[in-house]
């Protein structure tokens, strides 16, 4: 992103100069899907696409934000923030001011500009990146001293309680913590995490993102529904004398197969099998065994499609094509599903061919034209004083 262009735009809109520029990345999740809110394991990595937030303090309590990608401005008082659903992007920003106030951090008025290059609503976590870029910028501007994990949790709280999306911690966590060429293993119960190097160059591999450009209308309510189904499944396990998801094994729940509600059984089986796959993926990455990693990606997709039911035909196409294409080691949907994006682990010299062929296939099927592009694994949130 051309920072000097953003600074110029800020000056044009506000007739003042910004004091800082903060940015935060989107992410891919390599494996561990719909496990974060089930207090299991995830393995996300930050990508090179980011949201930028430029800000300068004002003498009053007014918040003025210019969203450059939309050519729109909002303004509201930094005190007593109430929900308004007028613009989608506005809700995420207001949510951050709301969560700060609720946690006794009181920012004053600001002029702010946001813009970015993460495709919105594509399952690459543009919303977490927006939240994190804003909270990180405000933290520096007003010297709150918020620790990184607390920052991720506050952003998640804003999304859960203000935006109404009952997401887990994964997206905000990786947007704060991400590092170049590193995936992060996060235990969502203890919040312990470990850096897992991604030595893709050793096998000339690239992660491609396949943005289906499809978004199901009901994705938020379906997401929240999965969350309540999986907690109902976990309650059932506990009432049958089996520990919750973290203590149970697939063998243990196998014994409940006949008596348990079929849908809840499948939800539980996904969570348990996906947690196992994350652990195996870490082992595979430790050994640079990308063939094994790829197989786990395929298995993850099958489980998300059949047991958790969050896939869609467009993302199944990515999986099916990935299985057949020589030079693709694994492919799966990434993020919440219900449309959005998938990832494919592909030999670097085959990425062009892969892209051409899958675009043709999508067209033959009459699907919306997807976007396919390579991602670099990049750093997390950062802020610089101007
Ligand atoms: C979305 C949520 C995350 C996580 C994924 C599914 O990205 O924001 O918290 O639940 O879906 O793994």
Q: Is the CB of 40 under 6 A from ligand 1?
A: no
Q: How far is the CA of 56 from the centre of ligand 1 (A)?
A: 32
Residue written as tokens 């940015």?
A: 23
Give the residue, by CA position, lying nearest to ligand 1 atom 9. 168
Burial 227-260 (b: 16+ CB within 10 A, else e): bebbbebbebbeeeebebbbebeeebbeebeeeb
Distance between CA atoms of residues 268 and 231, nearest Å: 9
Annotation says 161 is catalytic = no
| pLDDT at residue 148 is higher than 80 | yes
pTM score > 0.95 for this model?
yes
Distance between CA atoms of residues 384 and 386, nearest Å: 6
Residue 339 contacts residue 331 (beta carbons within 8 Å): no
The pLDDT of residue 87: 58
Q: How far is the CA of 33 from the centre of ligand 1 (A)?
A: 7
DSSP string, 1-33: --HHHHHHHHHHHHSS--SEEEEEEEEEEEE--
Q: How far is the CA of 15 from the centre of ligand 1 (A)?
A: 39
Mean pLDDT over 84-104 rounds to: 87
The pLDDT of residue 215: 84
Give the residue, by CA position, lying nearest to ligand 1 atom 7. 335
Residue 91 contacts residue 162 (beta carbons within 8 Å): yes
State which of 124, 277, 336 you would mutate to test the pocket of ligand 1, scoring each by most atoms of that ligand within 8 A of its C-beta: 336
Q: Is the CB of 33 under 6 A from ligand 1?
A: yes
Atom of ligand 1 nearest to the CA of 33: 12
Mean pLDDT over 139-159 rounds to: 97
Calculate Rg over the CA atoms of the chain: 21
pLDDT tens readout for residues 6-36: 999 999 999 999 999 999 999 999 999 999 9
The region, left, alpha or beta by phi > 0 then psi within -120 to 50, assigned to residue 145 is: left
The pLDDT of residue 336: 95
Residue 29 contacts residue 337 (beta carbons within 8 Å): no
Secondary structure letter of residue 179 according to DSSP? B
pLDDT > 90 fraction of the chain, expressed in percent and rounded: 91
* Average pLDDT along the chain: 95
Domains and CATH numbers, the chain: 3-195+379-385 (3.30.230.10), 198-375 (3.30.70.890)
3-state secondary structure of 247: coil
Comparison of pLDDT for 8 and 86, the residue scoring more: 8
pLDDT > 70 fraction of the chain, expressed in percent and rounded: 98
The pLDDT of residue 121: 85
Q: How many helices (H) and strands (E) does the chain have?
A: 11, 12
Atom of ligand 1 nearest to the CA of 167: 9
Residue 199 contacts residue 288 (beta carbons within 8 Å): yes
Q: Which of 171, 211, 307, 378 is catalytic?
A: 171
Distance between CA atoms of residues 275 and 271, nearest Å: 6
| pLDDT at residue 86 is higher than 60 | no
Q: Is the CB of 37 under 6 A from ligand 1?
A: yes
Q: How far is the CA of 77 from the centre of ligand 1 (A)?
A: 31
């Amino acid at each position: 992103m051309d920072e000097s262009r953003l600074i110029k735009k800020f000056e044009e809109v506000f007739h003042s100069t910004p004091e800082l520029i903060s940015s935060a990345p989107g992410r891919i999740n390599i494996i561990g899907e719909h496990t974060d809110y089930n207090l299991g394991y995830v393995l996300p990595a930050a990508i090179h696409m980011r949201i930028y937030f430029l800000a300068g303090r004002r003498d009053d309590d007014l918040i003025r934000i210019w969203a450059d990608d939309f050519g729109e401005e909002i303004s509201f008082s930094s005190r007593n923030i109430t929900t308004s659903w007028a613009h989608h992007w506005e809700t995420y920003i207001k949510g951050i001011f709301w969560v700060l106030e609720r946690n006794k951090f009181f920012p004053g008025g600001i002029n702010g500009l946001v813009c970015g290059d993460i495709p919105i609503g594509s399952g690459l976590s543009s919303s977490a990146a927006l939240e994190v870029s804003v909270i990180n910028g405000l933290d520096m501007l007003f010297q709150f001293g918020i620790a990184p994990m607390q920052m991720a949790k506050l952003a998640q709280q804003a999304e859960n309680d203000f935006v109404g999306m009952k997401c887990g911690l994964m997206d905000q966590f990786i947007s704060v913590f991400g590092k170049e060429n590193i995936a992060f293993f996060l235990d969502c119960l203890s919040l312990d995490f470990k850096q897992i190097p991604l030595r893709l160059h050793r096998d000339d591999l690239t992660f491609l993102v396949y943005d289906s450009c499809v978004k199901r209308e009901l994705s938020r309510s379906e997401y929240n529904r999965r969350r309540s189904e999986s907690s109902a499944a976990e309650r059932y396990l506990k009432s049958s004398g089996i520990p919750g998801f973290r203590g149970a094994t697939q063998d243990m729940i196998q014994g409940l197969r006949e008596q348990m509600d079929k849908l809840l059984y499948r939800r539980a089986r996904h969570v348990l099998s996906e947690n196992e796959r994350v652990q195996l993926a870490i082992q595979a990455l430790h050994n640079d065994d990308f063939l094994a990693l790829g197989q786990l990606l395929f298995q993850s997709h099958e489980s998300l499609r059949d047991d958790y039911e969050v896939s869609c035909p467009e993302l199944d196409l990515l999986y099916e094509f990935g299985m057949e294409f020589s030079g693709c080691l694994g492919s799966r949907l990434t993020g919440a599903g219900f449309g959005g994006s998938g990832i494919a682990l592909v030999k670097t010299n085959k990425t062009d061919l892969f892209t051409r062929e899958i675009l043709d296939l999508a067209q033959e099927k009459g699907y919306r034209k997807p976007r396919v592009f390579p991602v670099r694994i990049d750093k997390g949130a950062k802020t610089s004083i101007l």
